[in-house]
Structure 1
Amino acid sequence: SKDEAFFYGEESLLPLLVGEGWGGVSRIYARGLFILFLTTISFTSQLLKIPIATATSNRISNGQIISILGNVQLKRSYGSVIRPTTGTPLYPGDQLQTADGGQVIIQCADLSLWTLKTGESRFNNCPNQTAETQDAQCTRDIAKCPDRGDEIAWNDPTIPYIISPRRTLILTDQPVLRWNPVPGATQYTLRLSDGANEWRTQVNEPFVIYTGEFPLKPGIYYSLKIETDTGSFSFAEDVPGLGFKRLDENQQQQVNTAINQLTTWKLDDEANALSLAYLYTQYDLKSEAIKTLETLVEQGSQTAGVFRTLGNLYWQVGLANLAESRYLQAIKLATPNDIEGQAIAAAELGTLYQALGETQKAIDYLNQAISQYKTLEDLERINELNHQLEGLSNETKIQD
């Protein structure tokens, strides 16, 4: 079906146009406009260990900082020295230095961890990524990001759009199904189908644990549809590829092994959540990654990197409203010294607005990011974002 084909990533390059979806949902089909925490993994290929990547950047991150304490400096390969924070991405050629009680824990793209104790200086020793991995990165023309949902729209609060699981793999055969609570609705009818079987039930809350007669099997594509007693439907969102699959048994074992390895590090709650989210996203378990980080937020996290990562994940599953909210919070929480963190979030938010057709907002945030990268003297990112702005300007002229 078209819905499953889109989920598989077979419609990775769609024409850019703005139109009205069924039910008046304004939407945009974006050519590869996508922010990645980790590049989404194809369900039809072998699992790749893929690094963190930011849309429109040709750099390939091979790690991230998951815990930092005290005085730590990071010298980028292009020469700029920054004060890294939790969630700061690392790239080949970066050099870390600690002093005055400073300590840092790094998680590499291959899921290995290493530490830097006070008074130490070391180059980033995370394994470099291969040319095969590079092919999965977003290029500066933001038109070559495979295996992800290109179609994104502002989520209409008047329909019960699917929240979770959505455009993801799952671990359990009894997932919690969640959707948007519609004002005035008191009853929801849901149908979960694999094309051959259908589970139907009615509930009064906007969530339910799957307890259907047929088991959820690995490799099978499942779609969820919701109807309210007020007459609204989840499929009014009219965006394909929002279903889910269950992770196969071999990969489930890999995930469990990796989780057990992480527990031996005895990380604090925040570092543990970030490392788990990183792990989950490697296996395309986006709903698990979101749940892990949102639990951290509920516990009071004020770390900009956590919110920035959530913004990336929400964009990947096509929840634009939540992505915007988390990006804005990331910008608000970034400390004055974390100029790079502010720039990353602003660039991501600007690109999100571009995908949604919010041209002026896109221009404003991209210019904000450029200004901050100028402070860091990061010429590569300045050139990439200027190129993006030029493309945005050309698209605007075409639409006019």
Structure 2
Amino acid sequence: MCSQTLTKNLYLNRFSSLGLTTSIMVTGAFTTAPTAVAASLGTILTATGQVSIKRSGWSSYQPAAVGTSLDNGDLIWPAAGSQVKLQCSNGTTQPVPSGSPSGVANICPVPTVNPDPTMGDAIAGIDANLPYLISPRRTHLLSPTPTIRWNAVTGANSYRVRVRGVGVDWKTEVTTNQVVYGGETPLQPGEYYLITIITDSGASSTDDPGMQLGFTILDDSKRANLQADLTELSQQQPGQPTQTLAQVILYQKYKLRAEAIETLETAISANIKSAQIYHTLAGLYEEVQLNQLAINNYLQAFQLATETPDLVIKTEAAAKLAEIYSALKDTPQAQRFLQEAIQGYETLGDVTRVQNLQKLQP
């Protein structure tokens, strides 16, 4: 590919690959058309005291925690004396009045247009025979020397790694499934970079059905704004796992998906058991079309929410698992979680969602 064509493709992909999207679109045995989850209107950033939410269609309020996403039509009700802040989709942070219910749309402005393009209906990050990219993938980054990770392919003896962008064409060969970028040309903020990985047998990351998912480096002004947000958060000292989830929400504000994922994985490695952490991590993996990793974490969220119990996360994780397994045409698993989701929404009194899920049954 000539440099002019590469530059044009990088420019065109920058917008589709780095837009804020919360879910893939999937099709499968139970669906008649692709479905997608719209971007949330706001997310609970911090919460002191008791807070409940009532989604559109629910018959009653349910407890909610930091990291819970809220959409247009949802209600939030902090108990008297509680202090709650929402991270809105437009980037602002807004307090929530306590003592009475508030419509989320009255706190966070509803976008006049949807700036959130869907990613297509590909189910990617599933084929264990491919060295599909794990990180950095469809994200901004803080570090100009990122660690590149990909799926380790059984039987592969070596991997050829290539990073391309305007003025950059770095190549290396390694025997492990990760490497730190070591090109002589520094990666620049605002430029878009693509990564490809090829095994010694010829299997390529480009054979994965996901989009070309690259990365950019966060510019200095946004980095300064992020640091100010993190400093303000640290002064509140909310404790774990609230601290982790609030930090992840801030990373998502700046589209730092790789940092958000790493933060959640670090918390899990530190044995912080939280259904919300696993559920949030699963959603991030789904955003970047790493569906096997999304499945693994939705399963963990479902199990922990069952033990806690946390009816909201259990039900929403079950609905996501039913959707993904359906797209993979794994009918037994799709049926199992479809029934769990229907039962959960029946308990929540969400007649509309129950009826929609019942339509998906064969």
Structure 2 counterpart of 1:353, from 319, 325, 350: 325
TM-score by length of 1: 0.73
Match of 2:60 in 1: 80
Taking a change above 3 Å as real, the CA distance of residues 213 and 187 of structure 1, as seen in their structure-2 partners, is same
Deviation readout 1:104-155 (Å, 9 max, x if unpaired): 7554325637699xxx84435866333326735xxxxxxxx62535422352
2:280 maps to 1:302: no
2:208 maps to 1:217: no
In terms of mean alpha carbon deviation, does 184-193 or 357-366 score higher? 357-366
Match of 1:277 in 2: 248
Match of 1:331 in 2: 302
Contact 1:84 1:338 in 2 (8 A): no
Match of 1:155 in 2: 126
TM-score by length of 2: 0.79
RMSD over aligned Cα atoms? 3.5
Match of 1:108 in 2: 87
Taking a change above 3 Å as real, the CA distance of residues 271 and 197 of structure 1, as seen in their structure-2 partners, is same
Match of 1:208 in 2: 179
- Point out where structure 2 has 5 or more consecutive residues left out of the alignment: 1-7
Taking a change above 3 Å as real, the CA distance of residues 277 and 82 of structure 1, as seen in their structure-2 partners, is same
2:94 maps to 1:94: no
AA paired with 1:132? P
Q: How many pairs are equivalent?
A: 340
2:224 maps to 1:260: no
Shift of 1:197: 2.9
Question: In structure 1, what is the Cα distance between the partners aligned to 2:332 and 2:134?
Answer: 28
Question: In structure 2, what is the Cα distance between the partners aligned to 1:346 and 1:158?
Answer: 27
Taking a change above 3 Å as real, the CA distance of residues 173 and 130 of structure 1, as seen in their structure-2 partners, is same
Taking a change above 3 Å as real, the CA distance of residues 173 and 132 of structure 1, as seen in their structure-2 partners, is same
Question: In structure 2, what is the Cα distance between the partners aligned to 1:5 and 1:250?
Answer: 24
Question: In structure 1, what is the Cα distance between the partners aligned to 2:33 and 2:9?
Answer: 18
AA paired with 2:194? S
AA paired with 1:112? T
Shift of 1:242: 1.6
Match of 1:340 in 2: 312
Shift of 1:312: 0.7
Question: In structure 1, what is the Cα distance between the partners aligned to 2:10 and 2:142?
Answer: 21
Question: In structure 1, what is the Cα distance between the partners aligned to 2:333 and 2:262?
Answer: 29
SS of the residue 2:236 aligns to: coil
In terms of mean alpha carbon deviation, does 145-154 or 362-371 score higher? 145-154
Question: In structure 1, what is the Cα distance between the partners aligned to 2:262 and 2:245?
Answer: 11
Taking a change above 3 Å as real, the CA distance of residues 282 and 240 of structure 1, as seen in their structure-2 partners, is same
In terms of mean alpha carbon deviation, does 291-300 or 181-190 score higher? 181-190
Shift of 1:223: 1.0
Match of 2:353 in 1: 381
Match of 1:8 in 2: 15
SS of the residue 2:137 aligns to: coil
Question: In structure 2, what is the Cα distance between the partners aligned to 1:356 and 1:4?
Answer: 32
